[in-house]
Amino acid sequence: MWNYRITSVWGIPIRINVSLLVFLPVLAWLIGSGEQITIYTGIINGFTPSPLDAADLRAGNTPWLVGSLAAVGLFVSVALHELGHSWAARRYGIGVDSITLWLLGGLANLETIPREWQKEFWIAIAGPAASVLVAAVAYGVVLVVPASLPVVTFVFGWLVVTNLVLTVFNLLPAFPMDGGRVLRALLARSQPYATATRTAARVGALFALGFAILGVLSFSPLLLLLALFVYGGATSESRLVALDTLLDGVTAADVMATDTERVTGDTTMADLATRMVEEGRTTYLVTGDDGTVAGIVSVDDFKRSRGKATSVEEAMDTNVPRITGETSLFDVYALMNRDRVNAAIVEADGDIQGVITSTEMTTALQIRREAGSVAPPRTAM
């Protein structure tokens, strides 16, 4: 939500979240403040052939120029970091849906999560490796920039320092950051994948607690936000892996409802409510004028549209995932969650075989839990 596409690389959409658009001017101001310029000038002078004068960089409107260029450069660096992850993922045949730049950095959204530990290790380490490469290129620029361009020298010197610091920070074993994923990959060499994830998530939670304490003591909202991100990410990943393990081996064909009923798009919501009560059903396929299935309407759609829609066509979900019977139930869950719908249509050669709703999903989970049917973990990510 609130993401804006700016370009694409290798066919991967690169988006900017509105939080970054709001934060960039603040970041530019922070970097361009006199104190920060003085501090970083001292560091950069340690490796630049042409020493910088902090007083010149702080004169007039130069701090704003320095801050703006450095802020944009930072998030270009973050994009390159995420492209490092994406390049490694694509090398393993894993698609990348998008890259999103936001307040706390970037996120590469992989189509699937690899479970072979080698794959996860190299995909995780590729991001920090890209950041080191960016730092090396920026250092090369610092070495050749003439002394008459102090702003350029400062900005690229700042990028050298920042990329190296972010590389070290990213490699902290705070799941779900890169270091946490590296930790999980190494643990998965000798442990079940779900166990390795739980261990990495616990370590991430401890780091989140540390970030929160530092945030309170230093009055840093960013550290508090980072703590929430790390804790939320670690918890969410742990739950997803547990769900994947629980549903291992279960396909859409195993749980789909085959006795599906249909309703036309021009059916009124009142008539739909009557049918639901009389037939004891909560989900119907919706057919168009040509008899083809145009979407799905469920009791949840009825509740959401009460008073807003008069016909099924106005209330139905049209962006319903269409899958095959061989699709794993976990992938079905991921698709429904991604598209924010509560049903998926199972097809074979264009013919509808059945429907999976949140009801079938919940039933399958209850049965697997009660039966204690957790399949042996696969070697992956």
**Per-residue pLDDT reduced to its tens digit, 275-302:** 888 888 878 888 877 778 888 887 777 7
347-368 per-position pLDDT tens digit:
887 788 888 877 777 777 777 7
**What mean pLDDT, rounded, does the chain reach?**
84
Element containing residue 210 per DSSP (H, E): helix 193-217
Peptide bond into 176 cis (omega under 30): yes
Lowest mean pLDDT among 12-16, 50-54, 354-358: 354-358
pLDDT of residue 28: 86
Indicate whether 375 pLDDT > 60: no
Task: In whole angstroms, give the CA distance from residue 179 to residue 169.
Answer: 8
Is residue 24 scored above 90 in pLDDT? no
Residue 37 has pLDDT above 70, yes or no: yes
**pLDDT for 365:** 77
Q: Residue 69's pLDDT is what?
A: 92
Active site annotation includes 278: no
Please report the pLDDT score of residue 377 as a whole number. 39
Predicted local distance difference test score (pLDDT) of residue 1? 54
- Among the listed residues 77, 59, 55, 60, the one whose alpha carbon sits nearest the alpha carbon of residue 155: 77
10: left (phi over 0), alpha (psi -120 to 50) or beta: left
Q: Give the mean model confidence (pLDDT) for residues 337-355.
A: 80
Q: pLDDT band at 268, cuts 50/70/90?
A: confident
As a whole-number percent, the residues of the chain with pLDDT over 90 amount to: 24
Binding-site members are 81, 85, 178
Angle at 336 between CA 333 and CA 338, to 5 degrees: 105
Q: Are 27 and 162 in contact (CB under 8 A)?
A: no
- CA angle 307–310–311, rounded 5-degree value: 140
| pLDDT score of 73 | 92
Instruction: Name the band, by pLDDT with cuts 50, 70 and 90, for residue 82.
Output: very high
The per-residue pLDDT for 372 is 58
CA distance 37 to 61: 13
Residues 210-239, mean pLDDT to the nearest whole number: 81
Residue-wise pLDDT for 213-227, tens only, equals 988 988 877 788 778
Mean of the pLDDT values across residues 331-343? 76
Do the Cβ atoms of 199 and 191 come closer than 8 Å? yes
**Alpha carbons within 13 A on the beta-carbon side of 315:** 28
Q: How far apart are CA 302 and CA 166, in angstroms?
A: 48
The pLDDT of 100-107, averaged and rounded, is: 81
- The pTM (predicted TM-score) of the whole model is 0.70
Q: 178-185 long-range CB contacts below 8 Å, 24 or more apart?
A: 178/124, 178/125, 178/127, 178/128, 180/204, 180/234, 181/120, 181/123, 181/124, 182/121, 182/124, 182/125, 184/120, 184/381, 185/117, 185/118, 185/120, 185/121, 185/124, 185/381
* 33-37, 108-112, 136-140, 236-240: least confidently modelled range: 236-240
Residues 6+ apart with CB under 8 A from 10: 83, 86, 87, 90
For residue 147, the SS3 value is: coil
> Which range has the worst mean pLDDT, 158-167, 174-183, 239-248, 326-335?
239-248
User: Where residue 380 falls among pLDDT bands split at 50, 70, 90?
Assistant: very low
Name the maximum alpha-carbon separation found in the chain.
84
Domains of the chain in start order, with CATH, are: 3-246 (no CATH), 252-371 (3.10.580.10)
Confidence of residue 163 (pLDDT cuts 50, 70, 90): very high
Could you say which of 82, 120, 237, 313 is catalytic? 82
pLDDT for residue 373? 46
Mean pLDDT of 158-178: 89
Q: At what angle do helices 329-339 and 221-246 cross, to 10 degrees?
A: 140
* Dihedral sign for Cα atoms in the order 62, 63, 68, 74: positive
Binding residues for Zn(2+), as ranges, are 81, 85, 178
The answer, yes or no, to whether residue 126 has pLDDT greater than 80, is yes
3-state helix, strand, coil in the chain (%, to 5): 60, 15, 25
- 345, 258 in Cβ contact below 8 A? no
The percent of residues in the chain predicted with pLDDT above 70, rounded, is: 95
